[in-house]
Amino acid sequence: MRNLRDAIVELYRKAATSLPADVEAGLRRSLAREEKGSAARAALLKVVENIKLARDTSRPICQDTGVPVFFIKIPAGISQVKIKDEIIRATRISTKKIPLRPNAVDILTDNNSGDNTGIGFPVIYFEETAGKQVTIDLMLKGAGSENIGQLYKLPVAELNAGRDLDGVRKCVLDAVYKAQGRGCPPYVIGVGIGASRDQVTRLSKEQLVRSLDDKNVFRILYDSEKRLLGEVNQLGIGPLGFGGKTTALAVKIGVNHRHPASYFVDVSISCWADRRAGLLIKI
């Protein structure tokens, strides 16, 4: 288990200091689209320089190293308790070593635990799967963008949004319009649709660990994602909210079956620093 601990520390380092290639490529493409001499372009140039500096000096891309969120898939017979234990230890080591900013604050005392661990912190989701490998996806979710996420219950009269994918589309546009530039655009937008509130918030967040370049397995959702990305970028909020062509890099939608009486839509938004890293262990 010692090896697992070291591997998770490295996972933290990678996620915090080295932006995934697909996100960086997306930012570079958006840089090329923004007008010369604009504040948006100037800001993106610094963003791109910052990504390189962070990687070269192994320092966190953003001082808000966020809430660590783990999505873990394990085959039968592997102990969740043991993996959780190693994650807690690795989190303490990483906070000191990388360093990460201590972000876990006790609700009752308002004290910061100082090591990024506490009740339900980090967030860890387990799922048992067939096969013989463990996969660990880690996302460092910044709070600025976490704070602008929205949960909807369709239908929504003010948005003229019914219980269908067009209603979902209106929710996403509403969430981004309301967010404006407060969560560090260009955003990556995750959407979760389904039967219960707790399920859709997890599902929308899970969309944020998908590669920007992947293709939704459902053709109809792939089309929705594409259309929504185009429409979000018509809003003109732009990089950092300075105005411009790129408000989002991608929209990703995930679905579960719903109850006849419920149609929940959750919109999770990531800042441009969509920090994630993955690990695969063969048993």
| Pairing mode, strands 264-270 and 150-153 | antiparallel
Per CB under 8 A, which region of 79-87, 176-184, 203-211, 254-262 contacts other proteins?
A: 176-184
Q: Is 106 in the site for other proteins (CB under 8 A)?
A: no
Following DSSP, what letter does each residue of 178-242 receive, concatenated? HHTTTT-SSEEEEEEEESSHHHHHHHHHHGGGS-TT---SSHHHHHHHHHHHHHHHHT---GGGS
* Sign of the torsion formed by the C-alpha atoms of 226, 249, 161 and 257: positive
Q: Is 242 in the site for other proteins (CB under 8 A)?
A: yes
Give the burial string for 41-64 (b: 16+ CB within 10 Å, else e): bebbeebbeebeebeeeeebbbeb
Q: Is 248 in the site for other proteins (CB under 8 A)?
A: no
- Tell me the closest approach of the beta carbon of residue 10 to other proteins, in angstroms: 19
- State which of residues 28, 29, 46, 259 lies at the interface with other proteins (CB under 8 A): 46
Q: What is the CA radius of gyration of the chain?
A: 19
Q: Is 140 in the site for other proteins (CB under 8 A)?
A: no
Neighbours of 278 (CB within 10 A): 16
- State which of residues 144, 155, 162, 278 lies at the interface with other proteins (CB under 8 A): 144
Q: Is 243 in the site for other proteins (CB under 8 A)?
A: yes
Identify which of residues 49 and 214 has a Cβ nearer to other proteins in the complex: 49
- State which of residues 1, 53, 220, 280 lies at the interface with other proteins (CB under 8 A): 53
Identify which of residues 1 and 53 has a Cβ nearer to other proteins in the complex: 53
Give the burial string for 175-211 (b: 16+ CB within 10 Å, else e): bbeebebebbbbbbbbbbbbeeeebbbbbbbbbbbbe
Q: Is 226 in the site for other proteins (CB under 8 A)?
A: no
- State which of residues 131, 160, 164, 197 lies at the interface with other proteins (CB under 8 A): 160
Q: Is 59 in the site for other proteins (CB under 8 A)?
A: yes
Supply 101's token pair: 């900013």
Neighbours of 173 (CB within 10 A): 18
Q: Is 181 in the site for other proteins (CB under 8 A)?
A: yes
What's the rounded Cα separation, in Å, for the pair 170 and 159? 7
Per CB under 8 A, which region of 127-135, 139-147, 201-209, 218-226 contacts other proteins?
A: 139-147
Q: Is 73 in the site for other proteins (CB under 8 A)?
A: no
Q: Is 271 in the site for other proteins (CB under 8 A)?
A: yes
Query: Do 252 and 210 meet the contact criterion of CB atoms below 8 Å apart?
Result: yes
Q: Which residues pair with 112 in a beta bridge?
A: 105
User: Residue 222 to residues 206, 228, 250, 253, 270: CA-CA distances in angstroms?
Assistant: 16, 10, 11, 8, 19
- State which of residues 119, 236, 257, 261 lies at the interface with other proteins (CB under 8 A): 236
- Tell me the closest approach of the beta carbon of residue 84 to other proteins, in angstroms: 26
Q: Is 272 in the site for other proteins (CB under 8 A)?
A: yes
Contact set with other proteins (CB under 8 A): 39, 42-43, 46-47, 49-50, 53-54, 57, 59-65, 99-103, 112, 114, 142-144, 147, 159-161, 169-170, 173-174, 177, 180-184, 231, 234-238, 240-243, 271-273
